[in-house]
Amino acid sequence: MNNKTNTVDKDNTTVINLKAFFQLLKKYSKFIIATSILGIVVAWLSAVVIITPKYESSADILVNRKTNDIQTQLNVQQADLQAINTYKDVLKKPIILGDVLKTLKEKDNYSGNLEDLQNSLVITNETNSQVITVSAITENPYIARDMANIVSEVFTKKIKKIMQVDNVTVVSTAKVNTTPVSPNKKVMIMIGFLVGLGVGIAICGIKELLNTKVDSTSYLTDDLGLTNLGVVYHIENGKRSIRAVTIVDDKLATSVERRI
């Protein structure tokens, strides 16, 4: 019996909380809509004005040694696949990027250092693929193109001496891409809307919790379970101040109004 009662109480509490929440949304709907719109505007301005756009260009490197023997070719292919992780690691080492940095400074007046260059590069490879993709992400689309191409060129030349192999070829050079990859305006606007919505609801909730004003007698009788003994009205009538008292008689279910 107690378990059933507790379950009913919990269900009622949940219904009351949801009801109060939706009443809160309805009461402060204009304010919540305003904060949501403000969040969208702030996010859009941040994406357009504050955050500097970045551009990406990519070049592809093929790791592949050719042989006429089919059985040997399979072994060589497996060896190349195993070597790809090593190549990906070498691509971002100073032994490669040192020459790349020097060339970029001479060609494009690149102002970054070796760490900036490393952070601008993303080296990727699909599973069981012999292609390594060198992606450069910078604030200038032309520097991004040159960076990806120069890294690929320097790597193909130096890897022959570093590992005594001749199995790396540039199969796709980077092109200029003037469409920014970041910031993502749609995502930022959605985040701005959600933040504005959340802030608006939070402010309204705090305001409602701090509000100690009683707006209706139903709150006292229904929510708090108090008995309504009467209502006092204060009326200003020129120089006279009138107080009208409504006395409620629960037994007779009637009310009598008196003026004091």
18-40 tens-digit pLDDT: 777 788 888 889 999 999 999 99
Q: What residues does each domain of the chain span?
A: 1-51+183-213, 55-172, 215-260
Fold for 55-172, please state it.
Alpha-Beta Plaits (3.30.70)
The pair of three-digit structure tokens given for residue 216, joined into one six-digit string: 């209706």
Between the alpha carbon of residue 90 and those of residues 85, 93, 95, 244, the distances in Å are 9, 5, 8, 90
pLDDT band at 68 (very low <50, low <70, confident <90, very high): low
**All residues at 6 or more sequence positions from 22 whose CB lies less than 8 Å from its CB, including other chains:** none
pLDDT band at 247 (very low <50, low <70, confident <90, very high): low
User: Which of 54, 181, 65, 58 shows the shortest CA–CA distance to 123?
Assistant: 58
What secondary structure does DSSP assign to 178-246, as a single string?
-S--BS-HHHHHHHHHHHHHHHHHHHHHHHHHH------HHIIIIIS-----EEEEEEEETTEEEEEEE
- Model pLDDT, residue 40: 94
pTM of the model: 0.63
What per-residue string of b and e applies to 61-79 under the rule 16 or more CB within 10 Å gives b? bbbebeeeeeeeeeebbee
The pair of three-digit structure tokens given for residue 25, joined into one six-digit string: 């949304």
Q: pLDDT tens for residues 77-110?
A: 677 777 788 888 889 899 999 999 999 999 999 9
Q: pLDDT tens for residues 127-170?
A: 888 889 999 999 999 999 999 999 999 999 998 888 777 778 89
